[in-house]
Amino acid sequence: MQKKSLLWLALTLLLSTSIVVFVAFRKSASNTSEEGVKEVPPNVEITKSGGEIESTFELPPDIGKSLDAITEEGNLTDQVIQGRIRERALEPLSNELLQKSLELLSEVDMYMWPGASSRSLATPLVFPMDASLQYLDLEFVSSSRRFLKVYQELLDLPKEVAERFVSDSLDTAFSNYRNLYEDYLGQCNEMGLFSIDPREGTVMIGPLERLNNTKDGSPTLRGTRYHLYSLMLIVGNLGLEKAKPKVAEIAEHARTQRDWLYNLTESHIAVRHTVLENASLYNPLMIATALRGVGPEAQEDYSDPLSDSPSEVETLKLTTFDAEWTTSDLPVRSGIYEPDYSKGSLTVKFFPLVDDYAIDALIDHYRAQ
């Protein structure tokens, strides 16, 4: 194992128990159309250079010493990494009943560790949002061993039983999400974010977002969003028709969030973009996968006849939750090991790169049924 890989893995292990919060400053220029819906500012990006993104997170003072000790003394072994996985994931998951695992899908920790690997340092501030952000949420969800466990166990149940479990979990998660989203918007208003002049070049965006579990076990906004995305992927892949009314309600809610933010042209695009990306439920990939999965023709070929450019389904091959190494574990991402499929594999189908117009047609189609 190369020293570079050791350093990277060690740093991740040392930091993964901490709360990661940040305040971001985005530089942008506004180019509002007469309709005030679609905005594509010229060459507007955010990066981590020039102080545009500043983090409140501070490294432990002994981080350098700790890394040296780990690499020089050879303590970062396979056993250490696997021990962390057992402690943080395998042991608690192995003792959870399905009902409890569904409830705890709102815990954000397992989505963030190991989390997504493809996050870009530059996010274009455009509406519609950059399509790569759809994949980012998919990566976070599929990296969670709890998601893998729930999906794996629901696959083994009779369909009507799986539908009952998922429908109940959707109801609870959506109720929690709506309350947390309203709180988030309230904080934005208190900070005056929606009142920032759209012509401002440097904008503070927030509120601070909690990216690990709360001490009292209360749900977080990101955790609840990923809870719903997890269930939407499961509904679509298992074809759980009895969950269709709730999925359609969630999809309509997400579209309402999108339309409100698109049309809020008196507010800064950086603020609106942040709310849509980090707080709303508007992810066309997730919505299309769930809705097409409960439609009469979706299970046949997973093509989308409502789009001018039908999207063929894509698939993810994932491991079981109790695999030695999942596709998202850091040693696999770094190329040191291969995913462990010795206990079987899971396939997740999804629709890539669905645009706003196709989503509108899809929502209207299923609402009319």
Where along the chain do its domains lie? 22-56+77-367
> Contact, 92 vs 205, CB < 8 A?
no
Model confidence at 2, pLDDT cuts 50, 70, 90, reads very low
What pLDDT does residue 207 have? Answer: 75
Six-digit token pair at 106? 């709102």
> What is the per-residue DSSP string for 340-360?
--TT-EEEEEE--S--HHHHH
What pLDDT does residue 91 have? Answer: 92
Say which DSSP state 6 is in: H
pLDDT tens per residue across span 223-274: 999 999 999 999 999 999 999 999 999 999 999 999 999 999 999 998 999 9
> What is the per-residue DSSP string for 66-84?
HHHHHHHTT---HHHHHHH
- 369 in helix, strand or coil? coil
Stated length of the chain: 369
CB atoms within 10 A of CB 234: 27
Lowest mean pLDDT among 67-71, 278-282, 359-363: 67-71
Lowest mean pLDDT among 68-72, 275-279, 348-352: 68-72
- 56 in helix, strand or coil? coil
The strand pairing partners of 55, in sequence order, are: 22
> Contact, 313 vs 351, CB < 8 A?
yes
pLDDT at 98 over 60: yes
The sign of the CA dihedral 50, 277, 215, 115 is negative
